Structure 1
């Protein structure tokens, strides 16, 4: 039996506001290369066999990305698609670019998670091929408390997981989910899909951090230097 086609949608709609940077965080340099380029190259590893890449960016960032691709001699074929008013809308736009394909497994990944390992990517694709929907996640290290009107209460962290990306799905399943109206509860793709299909969890990696603050950049640089 042949392996299903693999697609990847890299969503990068950040503005860098929380970072306090003068440019979007996906374009900040990490060891001399843009964060988003590190992410694209992680997915483009030949052993992963991804056939089609879609990078979703705000339209006003297209020129910057094309300039960076020229400057860094990026030869990885990929489509650049305009993002929407929310992450949900951006992923939906990315899916539209895959309209010519009828089946396969599609990964949705944060463009500012540049340290994702090949093992996490491969395991999440493989789990989605088996279960239909799979996401990377890790157990929380710290104690967790919930909030109430009276104050707070302890939560058993063994029943909790911290969600990462990639999040991988059968292509038609994700299409069906994104035909439904957007809801405020849609914080990631798993929350869009879960009313249609169970979500399988794959062991993530604590190093697969999402670049949000200056401290994240320092940590990411340290991890990259150690690899």
Structure 2
């Protein structure tokens, strides 16, 4: 097994790779840039879906298939996100997907999700539904029932018939598959031109099922599509609130790390990393606000890379995901619970360090401390607890 495959296995559970197809030239929108790199809401179109996949707790790894000439554009769009190195695509979309699949075979994934770079409004719930359906099916796609009347039209513009729309659905992405099945189907279909990956699996005799998609999960193809998409970012956006809670036991040591600050104490806190209960709690609160799971999904305690790691890495990652989604952290409220050491003398330093890690104004971070009146494990001096609330603003 390769190092990359071993890394995906350490994350536990099914190994799911998201493959984003971004190798098309797509100049129909005008200008000198392929459409996936045009600006939408102040970020490249491609970055929107990359941020959603990077933040999703059930996606093990993300790889983008790009045109070789687009590497500088890709680097800008993917900046700061934890992604696999991109790979070059082929002449047709089907070629690009096959090359992308071949490139992740050494990761030994169980499942793969294929997504079009020009669908920026992907939401976690659509990804959730695709993943859930893969427990029972070899292939599944999000789709929306066709609501408009469909007409068949001759070359001269004359209507030649009305198409019965019963049972017709508009396919979307990400389309999810069991990895070995889709890779084999793409190898068998090499040289053909099929319209999507569901069609590739169908051509190989596989069955594909649908799950509810979302009307907002549109593909940007024309300038009108881009103008409509841009209007989504002209409103007030939405405010999200997430909560976090964490506990660490005391053990041998001569100091604790709390809020990124070293505090002398006659005991230490026990944990896989530096056991900073404050930063762990804040990271979980931020992950909760953006529906990105919890700290254990992004930084598994079974992964030796994080043994003794400073927890500012975890908090900075949570903040980076908010930024990648086009959002901002409005306010953090942290409460630390312990009998000792006394937190009051260190409160300002802790608040300042948290603000520094996340690049926030100090007035956006509140740090409080309390005892539990000698009740419970904190009251008995067996450990420390912390809870936090994160308020985050995201585009609408």
Structure 1 residue 99: Cα displacement: 1.6
What is the correspondence of 1:147-158 to structure 2 with a 5 Å cutoff? 147=153, 151-158=159-166
Structure 1 residue 220: Cα displacement: 1.5
Match of 1:209 in 2: 218
What TM-score results when the alignment is normalised by the length of structure 1?
0.90
- Please give the per-residue CA displacement for 1:193-223, whole angstroms capped at 9, x wherever unaligned: 0132111011111110111111111222223
Match status 1:25 vs 2:35:
yes
Match of 1:51 in 2: 60
Match of 2:231 in 1: 222
Q: Is the 8 A contact 1:16 1:22 kept in 2?
A: no
Match of 1:181 in 2: 189
* Cα distance in 2, alignment partners of residues 198 and 6 from structure 1: 20
Match status 1:142 vs 2:142:
no
* Cα distance in 1, alignment partners of residues 210 and 216 from structure 2: 17
Match of 2:198 in 1: 190
Q: Is the 8 A contact 2:150 2:163 kept in 1?
A: yes
Instruction: Indicate the SS of the match to 1:165.
Output: coil
List gaps (5 residues or longer) in structure 2: 1-11, 238-395
Q: Is the 8 A contact 2:54 2:81 kept in 1?
A: no
Give the root-mean-square deviation of aligned CA atoms.
2.0
- Please give the per-residue CA displacement for 1:9-63, whole angstroms capped at 9, x wherever unaligned: 000123232111221111111111111111100111243x211111011101012
Larger RCO: 1 or 2 (CA < 8 Å, sep 6+) = 1
Match of 1:129 in 2: 135
Q: Is the 8 A contact 1:134 1:168 kept in 2?
A: yes
Match of 2:118 in 1: 112
* Cα distance in 2, alignment partners of residues 148 and 3 from structure 1: 52
* Cα distance in 2, alignment partners of residues 214 and 59 from structure 1: 25
Q: Is the 8 A contact 2:21 2:66 kept in 1?
A: yes
Larger Rg: 2
Match of 2:180 in 1: 172
Structure 1 residue 152: Cα displacement: 1.5
Shift in alpha-carbon separation, 1:142–1:151, aligned structure 2, 3 A: closer
List gaps (5 residues or longer) in structure 1: none
Structure 1 residue 90: Cα displacement: 0.2
- Please give the per-residue CA displacement for 1:79-122, whole angstroms capped at 9, x wherever unaligned: 20101010011001111111213341100000110101111111
Match of 1:12 in 2: 22
Shift in alpha-carbon separation, 1:185–1:67, aligned structure 2, 3 A: closer
Match of 1:94 in 2: 100
* Cα distance in 2, alignment partners of residues 184 and 100 from structure 1: 25
Shift in alpha-carbon separation, 1:21–1:111, aligned structure 2, 3 A: same
1:74 is matched with which residue: 80, 85, 90? 80
Shift in alpha-carbon separation, 1:65–1:22, aligned structure 2, 3 A: same
Shift in alpha-carbon separation, 1:79–1:96, aligned structure 2, 3 A: same
* Cα distance in 2, alignment partners of residues 21 and 60 from structure 1: 16
Match of 2:209 in 1: 200
